[in-house]
Each structure stands twice: as C-alpha cells, then as structure tokens.
Amino acid sequence: MDRRADAFVYEPLPARVLFGAGRRADVAGEVARLGCARPLIVTSPEQHAWADEIAATFEAASTSRFCEAAMHTPWHTTVRALDAVARSRADCVIAIGGGSAIGLSKAIALQTDLPQIVLPTTYAGSEVTPIIGETRDGEKRTQRTLKVLPEVVIYDVELTTTLPPAMSAASGLNAIAHAVEALYATDGNPITSLMAEEGMASLASALPDIVRTPSSIEARRIAQYGAWLCGTCLGAVSMGLHHKICHVLGGSFDLPHAQTHAIMIAHVAAYNADAAPAAMTRIARALNAQDAWSGLHELARALNMPLSLKAIGMPEDGTDVAIERVTQNAYSNPRTPDARTLRIMLTRAWNGEPPARVV
C-alpha cells in the first residue's frame, strides 16, 4: 500500500489476458468462447504471414484477412477494412501486430461493435487501453471509449522475437513513457503506481538484453510483461505533457511514434521534476539511477537510440508550430507549460543535448 495515498479512485478495465510462449494456439478457442465463428484477421502488410498462420487454425471458408493496417489509423484504410468486414460477414476481429494493427482493429470495433482478440507484437500498449486515435483529413483525433477496448489480449512472446533491436528499444521506451506519466497523473492511484514502477523496472532490465540478444525469450518475456503493465497505466489514468508533445510532433511532422517518445521522455521528466518529486523518486528507483531524467537518458543511450529530434526528421523551424499546438488546449500536467521554457526544452531535444530541469 502506498502510504502517501489517502483518497483515490481506482477503476480497473474489463479484459481477459492470456500470457505465455505459444499462446497464439489459443486463438481459435477464444473466438469460440466469445460465441463467434467468422473472424477477420488484421495485420500490417509486413505481418501478413502471421495472418496466414492464424487463419490456418480455422476452416478456410470461415476466415478472411485484411493486411493493410498503417500507422496513425488513416480513415481511408478503415473504410476498406469495413468493406472487408461486410463482404466476409465477420463476427469478430483478430489483430496481430503493433499499435497500427491494433488501431485498425479498434477503428473497426468503434464502427461495428465487433469483439476483438488482439495479439500485440510490440511494446506500445494499445491492446489494454480504451483509447483510439484516427487520422482524417490530415488531422489525428483521439478519443476514449470502452467500445474500442479489446475483449481478449493474448501475449505470446514468440511473436515479439522478430521485432528488430532498434524498434524494440524505441517501443520499450514508449511503454516506459506511459509509466512515467502515470506516476505523476492527477488522477493516479496507488495500484496504477505499483504497476508503473514494476513495468518500468521490468523493461529497463530487459531492453539492454534484447538489444544484445534479440532472440532471447526470457528477456522478451520480461519486456512483454513490463509493456502490459505500462499499457495498463496508459489505459487507466490521464497522460500529461509528454504524450501531448509526442502527439503534436508526430502529427505535425510525421515523426515515427515510438522513436519520438524515446527521445522526449527524459526531457519531459526533467521539465516536470520539481513539480513531481515523489514520482521522480519512484522512477529513479525503478531505473536504479541517481535521478529520473538521467536514468531515462542513460537507458536510451545504452540502447543506441537516436537522441535528437533532428535525427528522426523534425525540421529545425518546427519548434514554433509545436509550441503553439502544445499550449493550445488545457490538459493535466504537474507543471503548467509556457512558451519560453517549452522552447528551451524542445531546442535541447532537437539538438540531442542531455535533458535538464528548465527554470
């Protein structure tokens, strides 16, 4: 029990979670358990072989595949997927892949109410959140609704061993960012904080092993467990400045999602540090580091991640647009951001300088 918490709200989300190597063999049983018989299997184009493998566990005529999922859930892709749902008379969706495949599955569920069974293959965490971001007419809009929360999540570590080391590291830091912001969320609670600290510690210990030995099932298992916990934090409490900045940078400059998170999280932790000392203590403890932001920065360095926004394609003059959009709407964060200090932080991040508390 967190003895600092005297009053809080904790609202767990309904989901059935199966965890373990080889668990994808349970997919057909889970479809039957939901009372369904005609799944549509969705993946990103690169993962179509997994769609074939899962489809082979059903009678050929009862399954169909849609392997066109794309980052940021473009609406025109959803329209084609809905057409595939209608043509195949699907009664449930099976998604295998990262946040992009799961995003498409959620977009289908939002329009059709079909139940979802999802098998995550990255550490992004979307599988356990009631959140969906969709891109229409060049604008990405995010909403929270239980309609998109997957009914069943199958964590099969064997599906993650092919995730390249650089993407594994970026995706793992993306998950850690959920835990960092959960620890200072205004609607946080002791249970979510326990998950955040445990999830962060699991990922921080496993990611260096994964970068050294990407085929290590043991390291992958620990990372996937951590990603589940961190994703649960994302689904349970409000995210702050870091998620707002990454949403803006991704949307404004088409930056890669996980890598943007990986670069920004140490900078935002330093920015928020003085306003959230208890969270910083827990982050430092989870990372076994002297302080939270250096620990996050050192972890990213140890994983050979790009450390500057410049390196992942943000234009140098993009800072003004980013500041304008980040300060446009109110959202919860332990420190109220202002244009001057945001500019200092974003300039440091663009240049790849170490994170600093900006005063």
Of 119-127, 284-292, 303-311, 325-333: span binding ligand NAD (CB under 6 A): 119-127
Beta carbons of 245 and 263 less than 8 angstroms apart: no
Which of 208, 251 has the CB closer to ligand NAD?
251
- The Cα 95–Cα 156 span in angstroms is 13
Helices (H), 213-338: 217-236, 241-253, 257-272, 277-287, 292-302, 319-326
Q: Contact with ligand NAD (CB under 6 A): which of 28, 109, 159, 177?
A: 159
Residue 121 contacts ligand NAD per CB under 6 A: yes
The verdict on 172 binding ligand NAD (CB under 6 A) reads no
Number of residues lying near ligand NAD (CB under 6 A): 29
Cβ nearer to ligand NAD, comparing 223 with 269 = 223
199 is a contact residue toward ligand NAD (CB under 6 A): no
Write the CA distances from 97 to 17, 105, 192, 259, integer angstroms: 16, 10, 25, 17
| Binding of ligand NAD by 232 (CB under 6 A) | no
- What DSSP designation does 12 have? P
Among 41, 81, 95, 98, binds ligand NAD (CB under 6 A): 98
Q: Given the structure tokens 């827990």, which residue do they identify?
A: 282
> Among 42, 55, 94, 97, which residue sits at the site for ligand NAD (rule: CB under 6 A)?
97
Q: Is 62 exposed, middle or buried (0-12, 13-18, 19+ CB in 10 A)?
A: middle
**Judged by CB under 6 A, does residue 163 bind ligand NAD?**
yes
If one asks whether residue 131 binds ligand NAD (CB under 6 A), the answer comes out as: yes
Rg of the chain on CA atoms, in Å:
20
144, β-bridge pairs? 131
**Mask: binding to ligand NAD, 257-286, rule CB under 6 A, as x and -?**
xx----------------------------
Task: List residues bridging with 19 in a β-sheet.
Answer: 155
Query: CB under 6 A: which stretch of 121-129, 182-190, 332-340, 350-358 binds ligand NAD?
Result: 121-129
CB-based closest residue to ligand NAD: 99
Sheet holding 152-155, edge to edge: 16-19, 152-155, 116-120, 92-97, 39-42, 64-66
Binding residues for ligand NAD, per CB under 6 A? 44, 46-47, 71-72, 97-101, 103, 121-122, 124-126, 129, 131-133, 159-160, 162-163, 167, 171, 234, 257-258
